[in-house]
Structure 1
Amino acid sequence: MSPIDSDKFYTEAFLYSYYGKEHVSTVVASGFTYKVLGFFINDQKPQLLVFINYLLHSISVVLLVKSGRLLYREAFNERLFAFFCFLSPLVFSQLSYFIKDYFSLFFAVLSFYLWVKVNEKFTFLKLVLLFLSIVLSMLFRVYAPVYILLLVISTGYLSRGYLYLTTFLSVGFISFFGLKSILFIFYGVLVVYFVPNFLNLDNFIVSPFSTLEGVVIFLVHLIIIFKITVTKDKEEAIKYFSMVMIIGLTLSLVSAFRVTYASGYDSIGNAYIADNFFRKKIPVTYILLFYFFSTKFFLRKFK
């Protein structure tokens, strides 16, 4: 029953309304979901319910593999993608908890898959399902559509608009939170590369596998940056750095909002990374792996 939200979800699902019936929140949405699942499972034990996380994880990987096949055909390295998704220590470390990340990720991935199918062959039913899937993703994390956007960006679709989008989001963020928010953005981008923080040697003792995975992903980032620099591939550069910036902006928004508006939050000390970003990197890991094994630098065959 950790992290702390897990207890809230269980309370909302099986004991009583945590916030009250008049309040709508991601805790209420998650609690209701567990209540429905618990009804079908006919048990209220957390040990029986958490297998749903693994099921959602597995379906998300399958949907991303199917999306990769539709987008890149034989060029998508689906075996390596699935291999790393099913062996990711960061992804697996949270599967046994009551958390909303796997739900929001699942509906975001489902939305992306439906977007691919709509582009392949448009039908009104697919469009309606796409809209419903996006709404459901937001019930678990309000910013879940960002995951969908990142997956779309990873395909290079409408790449000319990425610079305008990142500039607009950055200016909007700074305008709303002030110049101090530049530091939030800086640390948000650092989270992309350094969470889990492999520069802290103690992490190799506390969570060795997740930390080693962080080292590997960081090295892959360096390889992509090196390849972009050597080949002077502007299109790939725009796609990659737009993804990194949007992830950083999203995480920095979470920090800035919590520091500015969360009641009782002590902003002394770790003010610019004001949340559990280890857990929030879970959906990002799927997205980055999908990008890594679909980019031309890691494709099984060049298009």
Structure 2
Amino acid sequence: MASGFPPQKQETQPGVQHVMDPTPQFSSPNYKPSNKLHLPLKFLAGKVALVTGGDSGIGRAVCHCYALEGASVAFTYVKGREDKDADETLRLLHEAKTKEAKEPIMIATDLGFEENCKRTVDEVVNAFGRIDVLVNCAAEQHEVSIDEIEEARLERVFRTNVFSQFFLAKYALKHMKEGSSIINTTSVVAYAGSSSLLEYASTKGAIVSFTRALALQLASKGIRVNGVAPGPVWTPLITASFSEEAIKQFGSETPMKRAAQPVEVAPSYVFLACEHCSSYYTGQILHPNGGSIVNA
């Protein structure tokens, strides 16, 4: 695969997937599901997964893999802006679900506020009875220098990227049992930094520390907390935050000289959600980043 993409720009966040060129790849014929998210027969269903930002990008790819692996999937999106992407994801999940899984649901919400996080968890529990896997994937980013920092937007980015993870974990844990899993999405920029993504990189560093601390807090309960730190991935977040010139070169800075497609990152989330694959992992971060060495 070559680096870079055709010049394009979306002026509003969150970005949307259906207008991107090329469309991000959420699936692959080479991915072979093997019931990794099925539960013991007495439950008559797979695990219940809540994926934030599941309408597009990495979130859509994770939702799709989870459905193929037997999970009942709920995902969140931003109403008005992401409706078309969310409808398409819901359709794909209906096609991918196993016969034992319950029908997927989508939830329109702004996760930057505690009451919305609680309402989201309540809706999932009302539909599915519990939560086994929480995937925090929703995020926003902006190119900004220190002299351009504005309090309102700084708070907004931290609410979306960090506050949401705290509050969703707070309420989801009330409905989780031993063997459950929380998977947080951080980024390579939490380790390598970014000269242009000052706010975003700072939130992603906070997520690494949050993941490690929460893992220690929940280890005695048998609930694992891990994270994924992707490198450059072709998602709507990119076209909604980078310049056309940056998009032409996107991914070329990695040792592999290209960006990932979402489907290349999603298996990390499958691995961390599957108890018999990753039962001895907690407080850890996986690094699908195209070869960048971060020593973390």
TM-score class normalised by the smaller sequence: under 0.3
Bigger radius of gyration: 1
Normalising to structure 1: TM-score of the pair? 0.26
**Structure having the larger proportion of residues in helix:** 1
Higher strand share: 2
TM-score by length of 2: 0.26
